[in-house]
Amino acid sequence: EEQLLESGGGLVQPGGSLTLSCSASGFTFSSYAMSWVRQAPGKGLEWVSAISGSGGSTFYADSVKGRFTISRDNSKNTLYLRMNSLRVEDTATYFCAKQGYLKDAFDLWGQGTLVTVSS
């Protein structure tokens, strides 16, 4: 069974850093691009970042560019999101998602991990 499991969320002060992890199982991880999507409390979905299957190409939303870094370790079937210079407005549940071959649709999602940025 295909599965994604995020971890690493928590409470952090403004200006602080946090690294999220997403552990994948049940599919050939290195064959698929992956994305991070976030959802602020009571709000809609916001695409944050994406990475190619090899890890050679990375993409970011303007709202996080220069502060967040996406990476992956295909030997460990794990996706990461390093978040620096965190702001109150980064408070959200962060989901990792697998991009399928068909129009890059996000066909598998993790359960999400909550990041709270507050003093």
Partner 1 sequence: DIQMTQSPSSLSASVGDRVSITCRASQSISSYLIWYQQKPGKAPKLLIYAASTLHSGVPSRFSGSGSGTDFTLTINTLQPEDFAIYYCQHTYNIPFTFGGGTKVEIK
Residues that bind partner 1 (CB under 8 A): 35, 37, 44-47, 50, 59, 61-62, 95, 99-100, 102-107, 109-112
CA separation for the pair 17, 31 (Å, rounded): 29
Report the nearest approach of partner 1 to the CB of residue 24 (Å): 14
Query: Whose Cβ is closer to partner 1: residue 75's or residue 103's?
Result: 103
Report the nearest approach of partner 1 to the CB of residue 59 (Å): 5
Report the nearest approach of partner 1 to the CB of residue 12 (Å): 22
Strands (E), 15-105: 18-25, 34-39, 45-51, 58-60, 68-73, 78-83, 92-99
Which residues 6+ apart lie within 8 Å of 19 measured at CB? Answer: 8, 80, 81, 82, 83
Instruction: Give SS3 for 6.
Output: strand
Query: Whose Cβ is closer to partner 1: residue 35's or residue 83's?
Result: 35
Query: Whose Cβ is closer to partner 1: residue 12's or residue 37's?
Result: 37
